[in-house]
Structure 1
Amino acid sequence: MERRGDWPAESPWIRPAIDALPRHLFAPDRLWRWDGHAYVPVDRDADAERWAAEVYAGPDEATVTQVTDGRASSSLSCQAVVVDMLDSLTLEPGQRVLELGAGTGWNAALLASRAGPGRVTSVELDPELAVRAQKRLDAAHAGAAVEVADGDAGWSQSAPYDRVISTYAVEQVPWSWVTQTRPGGRIVTPWGRLGHVALTVAKDGRSATGWVQGLAQFMPARGTDPGRDFRQVRGGGPAQDERPVTRELWSLRDDPHLRFALRVALSDVHIMTAADDDGLSAWLHDGASSWATLSALGGGRTVAHQGGPRRLADELERAWDRWLAEGKPELYDFGMTVEPDRQYVWCRDAATGPQWPAQEPGHIPLAG
């Protein structure tokens, strides 16, 4: 973090807080490691060195603390993103904070170290996780309370809040978060599968708007349907369309600004990439019935195969062309506005820039 310059100068309180509240104090004795096929347990008593390596794998690595039905369902978020989101929150001493998703309790402890005892309420849907998080917070004398509740509903009993922060990703910001935040207050949340936003509630309390702050990949809310994976969507039938691809694909992997723009324009499309000696290949699917592969064949040749009611390779290229036509906006050029009856992502200007509706997964056309 020091070598990369990741400690934010405008929030000098964060580094001492993490020094005083290190990750391992909030990590359970059983962690989970992905072995390439499945999550396998890593127990502290059986292999303390491996356990510690999972806790401190690096600032960009999350530590999986719970697995449900073969999928990671809770984690210690990667430290670099935790720091970035805390910086985006612009938290001041004495402010009242609502956290959505207590998890291990680590983030709540960091919040309480800044806001002060009795100023942080964290909600957690899983009762067992809530109990364990409260025990860790009490052991650290953090002065934060954990309530068992659905984070999407917030926690009205202690509202209004000066700051609201979510530790899980949403496609739509729940309106309850806005109504429970005082005018001028700030909401920081991961949005979709890529990026987090910081919204400021308007003076009249009838909207919240703000800019994308950085990249963040967080788990969705508990109970979110993961949808079908690529193999399930692809099936075994033949492709319905085949054509050459003349576009250079490496930016799909290497350019975070392009990836974010595609995420905005194609909100329900999952894009995976992999490189080999022939070049970069990509796999696309919408979690329902449409798919595409962009297969590198070597010698600079790439071919697209597509199937289902949508032509995802075509949609990808159109959205890519739109991004180029807009002058390659960076992810920091995007923002979000939340109102009672609609919410949308915009580029460069909330009123005059291009807009895309933000809604639950489904095909979203370009607008504006």
Structure 2
Amino acid sequence: MPFHDEPNAPNEPAGSDGPADLGERRAALDAAIGRQALWPDRSPWIREAVRDVPRHAFAPERLWWWDGHAYVPVDRGSEARRWAEQVYAGPGDPAVTQVIDGQATSSLSCAAVVVDMLDSLKSEPGQRVLELGTGSGWNAALLARRSGPGLVTSVETDPGLAAQARTRLDAIGVGVTVEIGDGDAGWPAGGPYDRVICTYAVDAIPWAWVEQTRPGGRIVAPWGRLGHVALTVAEDGASATGWVQGLATFMPSRGTSPPPAWQQVRGTGPPPEAERLTVRDPGLGPLRTDPHLLFALRVALPDVHLTLSETNDGDGSDGDTPAVRLHDTARTSWATLHPSPDGDATAVARQFGPRRLADEALAAWDEWTAEGAPELYDFGMTVTPHDQYVWARHPATGPWPPPRRG
């Protein structure tokens, strides 16, 4: 189920470089999406559009490959085969198209996520669509194949990316208007829109998007860098409500400061005088791998970042055991959780700073369990001009987590 819009591990192509058979690679990606049952039955137009609008036509001559330590360039002119493998790597693999200061800042999103979000949008021919985050332009081209010429407006904050995307879109004649601006502000001049789709992660849905969408219109956007939501604007235009649709990791909007790395927080934290304690825990596996639990923790602890480590790197673990790391955005507290070296059903926690982040995470886990362990797709979001919150199972339940019992 989870797809990632950032590479997590090296995936170096095998063999020597040579001419790229793009037709074969396109067919292989199409078949792989089919084998994983990711082509949506209710939206057959998406598969047709992906077949008609080649992904490689929107890839720049230089892509970037993550080698496990840093991004390294892959140039089409000298490494045609490797370049093609990056473009058509697999359903869950993006092709990084821009790197700034060592950080990936734009990509051809993985095909599975693009397909899933277009399906969630439920667009119809003749509808006016606003896309926020043009990037390479491929997603805008797919949208235009559904809506028709002249009905898709795409906003990109990077003038260079906007110019490149405009050139590619004009070359295939799909009639997309590319504007330069702040995606969070939408593009009121072209509204109102029937559909709004965002291609970068936001921590809050801008009210401007709701204002620029017709009553009954639909907004699809990545939320919290972890999943995407599909919201329907109320008939009175005073709110938008909808369900979480999928799990994925997205790049944040340009200009957004990345969250501090765990090492940064640890390095600025207090000296290692904090307690070392054993806590009740049924095992760390779910905390590391269960997408439903991870999403619930993201909702309950929005300012806490959870990362994973496979080895002991001096953070206080006993042996080379998988660890869960937590730190807060304020850079005041950090914690680690490790399986007990005795192999029993406990975990060892080390906690530093004014907050006890391991305790908070385990308490949120207990709350999720007590509420029946709602799945990712049991969560939804409500947005109003002055507030927005995530709920579970029904909007009337109010913000998650629910009030503590007793």
The TM-score bracket by the shorter chain reads over 0.9
- Tell me, yes or no, if structure 1 residue 2 matches structure 2 residue 34: yes
Cα distance in structure 2, aligned partners of 1:246 and 1:279: 18
Structure 2 unmatched ranges of 5 or more: 1-32, 312-318
Correspondent of 1:263 among 278, 298, 302: 298
CA contact (8 A) 2:335 2:357 kept: yes
- TM-score (norm: length of structure 2): 0.86
CA 1:33–1:48: 2 relative to 1, 3 Å: same
CA contact (8 A) 1:250 1:280 kept: no
CA contact (8 A) 2:284 2:339 kept: no
- Tell me, yes or no, if structure 1 residue 65 matches structure 2 residue 97: yes
User: Which structure 2 residues correspond to residues 211-226 of structure 1 after superposition, within 5 A?
Assistant: 211-226=243-258
Correspondent of 1:331 among 357, 376, 381: 376
Cα distance in structure 1, aligned partners of 2:369 and 2:299: 14
Which amino acid in the other structure matches residue 282 of structure 1?
A: V
Deviation string 1:283-328 (CA, Å, 9 cap, x unpaired) is 1111322110112353425311011121100000000000000101
Question: For 2:165, what is the secondary structure of its paired residue?
Answer: helix
CA contact (8 A) 2:288 2:324 kept: no
- Look up the match of 1:284: 326
Question: For 2:354, what is the secondary structure of its paired residue?
Answer: coil
- TM-score (norm: length of structure 1): 0.94
Deviation string 1:14-55 (CA, Å, 9 cap, x unpaired) is 001001112111000011111122111111111111111111
CA 1:279–1:117: 2 relative to 1, 3 Å: same
My pick for the range that moved more, 140-149 or 297-306, is 297-306
Structure 1 unmatched ranges of 5 or more: 357-364
CA 1:155–1:119: 2 relative to 1, 3 Å: same
CA contact (8 A) 1:169 1:218 kept: yes
Which amino acid in the other structure matches residue 285 of structure 1?
A: H
- Tell me, yes or no, if structure 1 residue 308 matches structure 2 residue 353: yes
Deviation string 1:145-190 (CA, Å, 9 cap, x unpaired) is 1000100000011100000000001111000000000000000000
My pick for the range that moved more, 239-248 or 32-41, is 239-248
Which amino acid in the other structure matches residue 286 of structure 2?
A: S
My pick for the range that moved more, 99-108 or 213-222, is 213-222
My pick for the range that moved more, 243-252 or 1-10, is 243-252
1:275, distance to aligned residue in structure 2 (A)? 4.0
Which amino acid in the other structure matches residue 108 of structure 1?
A: A
Cα distance in structure 2, aligned partners of 1:253 and 1:15: 33
1:6, distance to aligned residue in structure 2 (A)? 0.5
My pick for the range that moved more, 182-191 or 262-271, is 262-271
CA contact (8 A) 1:33 1:41 kept: yes
Cα distance in structure 2, aligned partners of 1:253 and 1:234: 20
Question: For 2:395, what is the secondary structure of its paired residue?
Answer: coil
Which amino acid in the other structure matches residue 229 of structure 1?
A: A
Question: For 2:351, what is the secondary structure of its paired residue?
Answer: strand
1:246, distance to aligned residue in structure 2 (A)? 3.4
Correspondent of 1:154 among 156, 169, 186: 186
CA contact (8 A) 1:245 1:294 kept: no
- Look up the match of 2:108: 76
- Tell me, yes or no, if structure 1 residue 320 matches structure 2 residue 362: no
Aligned-CA RMSD value: 1.5
User: Which structure 2 residues correspond to residues 102-181 of structure 1 after superposition, within 5 A?
Assistant: 102-181=134-213
CA contact (8 A) 1:252 1:273 kept: no
- Look up the match of 2:71: 39
CA contact (8 A) 1:97 1:163 kept: yes
CA contact (8 A) 1:279 1:300 kept: no
- Tell me, yes or no, if structure 1 residue 241 matches structure 2 residue 283: no
- Look up the match of 1:355: 399
Cα distance in structure 2, aligned partners of 1:54 and 1:203: 44
Identity %: 65
CA contact (8 A) 1:239 1:306 kept: no
- Look up the match of 2:338: 295
